[in-house]
Structure 1
Amino acid sequence: MIVYRLSRARFAKDLSGKGAELAGGRWNSKGTPMLYTSDSIALCTVEVAVHMPLGIVPFDYQLIQIQIPDDIGITELSEAKLPTDWKSFPHSNATQVIGDEFIVEHEKLVLKVPSAAVQGTCNYLVNPRHPDFPKVTIVGIEPFEFDKRLFVK
């Protein structure tokens, strides 16, 4: 399976989940590493856009294509299994607890979750501490330019 990630150029080859570990996110609390990826380039774009202030166009980004082996087990969470506030803004602590538990349990390498930003799409959260993580590989990196219309005030 190929998943996608957008990252500043200097972090394009870093799959450690360190950025999420330092900042925390919807699906992990500070101190818990997690690699956020998406099922499409379009979803990656929206996921970056929703975190940028209006009027600021992200620059120096790279599109990273990541291969996750097809024989790797995936835990899938449907919206029905999530707390009612799972896509609230700011995000709920309840989703961080779910992600943190996923990382600690080491049961599966990937957690598939619905996107809070785009209905009907999914993000794939990868556990960089899982024993199968070395099987995750970058298969492509290319410059990415955002459409400025996404960031107009």
Structure 2
Amino acid sequence: MILFKTIKTPYVDTWYDYSKTATFKSGGRWNSAGIAAMYTSTNPQNAMLELGNYCSSPKMANTLYKLLIFEVKELRLFEVDVTQLPSNWDRKPHGGACSTIGDRVLSDVNYDGLLIPSATINKDAATHPVNSVRKAAYANVVMNISHMDETDMRVIDVCSPVFSTQMFSAKK
């Protein structure tokens, strides 16, 4: 399986040390503090789109981040069904409903992680009644990497810049 993640440049070589991440220390949308979680995407576009939560411009992203490409063993993923999504799953602050689901799955040794929709995608697309439309929005994989060792997952490439220099360069 191939997965993608944008990561701040100083942490490219220490990506596996989840205990030092803000997600582990403070929690994230799909995990509480103290639950190991690594947020990745099934395609590079979604990994890049997720940066919109942290950066105000592609130029800033290109300065501060790199795009990592991972090769990962086949994962046992729990797909959060659209009917299981909490009503506020796509909002900030995200509250505890998402992390309750995530904590349960990430703590279960029968799963390696969750397959979830991206909160950066339009909610109507992510919850669309047509399965193929909805599946396209389910592009995030949240893994508990404490269930894995370093041989289960490896970086196969580091890409920079994250965004093409042509992005947002239209003349006004």
Output the TM-score relative to the length of structure 2: 0.75
Q: Alpha-carbon deviation of 1:57?
A: 2.1
Contact 1:109 1:132 in 2 (8 A): no
Aligned length: 149
- Where structure 1 has 5 or more consecutive residues not aligned to the other structure, the ranges are none
> Relative to structure 2, which stretch is displaced further, 126-135 or 101-110?
126-135
Q: Do 1:16 and 1:35's aligned partners in 2 also have CA atoms closer than 8 Å?
A: no
Q: Which has the higher helix share?
A: 2
The answer as to 2:156 corresponding to 1:139 is yes
Give the aligned CA root-mean-square deviation in angstroms: 2.4
Q: Gaps spanning 5+ residues in structure 2: where?
A: 127-136
Distance in 1 between the 2:168 and 2:109 partners? 41
| Corresponding letter in the other structure for 1:124 | V
Q: Partners of 2:97 and 2:44 in 1: how far apart?
A: 27
Aligned to 2:147: 130
Question: Which position in structure 1 is the counterpart of 2:117?
Answer: 114
Could you tell me the TM-score, scaled by structure 1's length? Answer: 0.83
Residue 5 (structure 1) shift: 0.1
Q: Structure 1 residues 54 and 138, CA, compared in 2 at 3 Å: closer, same or farther?
A: closer
Partner of 1:102: 105
1:63 and 2:64 correspond = no
| Inter-partner Cα distance in structure 1 for 2:158 and 2:11 | 11
Q: 1:84 to 1:99 in 2, by over 3 A?
A: same
Q: Decide which moves more: 44-53 or 58-67.
A: 44-53
In structure 2, what residue type is equivalent to 1:30? Answer: A
Cα distance in structure 2, aligned partners of 1:22 and 1:40: 26
Check 1:39–1:53 CA distance in 2 against 1; reply closer, same or farther (3 A cut).
same
Q: Provide the secondary structure at the position in 1 that maps to 2:145.
A: coil
Q: Distance in 2 between matches of 1:115 and 1:97?
A: 17
Q: Letter of the aligned partner of 2:168 in structure 1?
A: R
Q: Which residue of 2 aligns with 1:11?
A: 11
Q: Does the Cα contact within 8 Å between 2:48 and 2:162 map onto a contact in 1?
A: no
Secondary structure (helix, strand or coil) at the match of 2:97 reads: helix
Q: Specify which of 69, 73, 93 is matched with residue 90 of structure 1.
A: 93
Distance 1:145 1:81 in 2: 33
Q: Report which of the two structures shows the higher radius of gyration computed on alpha carbons.
A: 2
Which of 7, 23, 27 does residue 30 from structure 2 map onto? Answer: 27
